Amino acid sequence: MDIDTTTRFREAFATAKHIIIIAGAGLSAASGIPTFRDGGGMWRSLDATTLATPEAFNENPSLVWQFYHYRRQKALQAQTNMAHKILARLAIPNLLKKVAPAAKSLHLITQNVDRLSVGAVSDLDNELAQQGLKGPGYRARKGSILQIHGKLFEVQCTKCDWRAEDFSSPLCPALGEAENDIRDYTDAGSNNRHIPVSQLPRCPECQGLARPGVVWFGEKPYHLDEINSLVFKADMCLVIGTSSTVYPAAGYAYRVQRRHGHVAVFNLDPSEKDEAASSLFRGGCEEVLSQVFP
Ligand code: BJW
Ligand code: ZN
């Protein structure tokens, strides 16, 4: 790793007041969760991005639910990796102060729906409490993680307002049976079991078809007003493990750069935001972040 880049970045981080972190699928890649693009996004020979649309769900809810069942299984089996853990440390005010003494706020805006960042923060909260480190300075501030593309473990009705968190898996017997039909997820081609709509997850209130509580293309992302004000005041923006191809998240780094904030990009490969970067760190974020924030 380039020592000058790290030193310059650490100096800028030390003077930052309002920090935002934009994260994408690369953050969870080392936890075994597939990314969407760059070769990571195939599921049963289908491009994952073509399944993450309301049109795909309307046309074939059975297929899209099987895709989300697979994603839920992957996320349930996954453990947080070093990158989640480091970002969790930064979310604790007293630990953030050690590397960013001027910091007044830090928010993680994650496009990931897997809950691993939330898990890393609550694990660390518990660990610090066990060490006797209590008080607000040792707790992540409420609302410091904003899940802009929703939650994989939320289920919502397509007909009424019902929504609920649900970590059970399979969500209904037919999804478990379909999974057993196909052992080799990556190359099962058109060998998809068709599940009748009546056997897919249903709303307990109105019996309507339920859907995953995530944001698909064309839908409104969550927390947009709050994120817009955070982006407006941010003087430091870390962009971690995202191809930066999906808006609105892809536009935030440019906005910070235009207002002369520091933009640091952490990515295994070149990404769309490299040109906006004041600091560019190439490599797996689970390794690079541990070197930058030892
Ligand atoms: C590593 C690594 C390691 C690997 N370490 N790095 C033109 C301008 C502006 C907007 C648009 C536009 N044209 C169309 C739009 C709108 C559209 C959009 O952006 N489309 C683009 C294709 C252009 N956006 C939307 O529709 C959004 N909604 C919206 O804009 O609404 C406006 C509105 C406002 C008010 C009212 C109503 C509407 C919604 C976008 C929803 C995206 N949904 C998905 C699925 C979520 C659910 C799920 O997870 O299943 O979100 S699609 C998918 O892409 C997912 C991701 O969160 C998102 C971004 O992907 P990400 O995270 O960047 O992953 P990858 O795979 O692309 O990249 C991984 C990166 O990691 C790579 O760079 C690797 O190199 C790297 N990496 N290992 C470090 N170890
Ligand atoms: Zn309902």
Question: What integer is the mean pLDDT of 28-46?
Answer: 85
The answer to whether 252 and 22 are in contact (CB under 8 A) is yes
Ligand 1 binding pocket mutation candidate from 246, 266, 267, 285 (most atoms within 8 A of CB): 246
Whether residue 193 contacts residue 66, with contact meaning beta carbons closer than 8 Å, is answered with yes
- Measured on CA atoms in the order 188, 193, 194, 200, is the torsion positive or negative? negative
Which of the residues are catalytic? 149
Ligand nearest to the CA of 273: 1
Gap between the Cα atoms of 92 and 106, Å rounded: 9
Output the pLDDT for position 91: 97
Looking at the DSSP bridge assignments, the partners of residue 260 are none
Of the bound ligands, which one is closest to the alpha carbon of residue 158? 2
What's the whole-number average pLDDT of the chain?
Answer: 93
Cα-to-centroid distance, 147 and ligand 1 (Å): 12
Residue with the smallest CA separation from ligand 1 atom 23 is 246
DSSP string, 43-101: ETTEEHHHHSSHHHHHH-HHHHHHHHHHHHHHHHH----HHHHHHHHHTSHHHHHHH-T
Instruction: Reply yes or no on whether the pLDDT at 68 is more than 90.
Output: yes
Tell which one of 64, 217, 245, 282 to mutate to probe ligand 1, the residue whose CB is within 8 A of the most ligand atoms: 217
The pTM score is: 0.95
ipTM of predicted assembly, 2 dp: 0.96
Q: Sign of torsion, CA 5 11 15 18? A: positive
> Which residue's CA is the closest to the ligand 1 atom numbered 35?
220
Percent of the chain with pLDDT over 90: 85
Q: How far apart (Å, rounded) are the C-alpha atoms in residues 284 and 31?
A: 12
Question: pLDDT tens digits, residue range 148-202?
Answer: 999 999 999 999 999 999 999 999 999 998 887 655 444 444 457 899 999 999 9
- Looking at residue 184, what is its pLDDT? 43
Radius of gyration of the chain (CA): 20
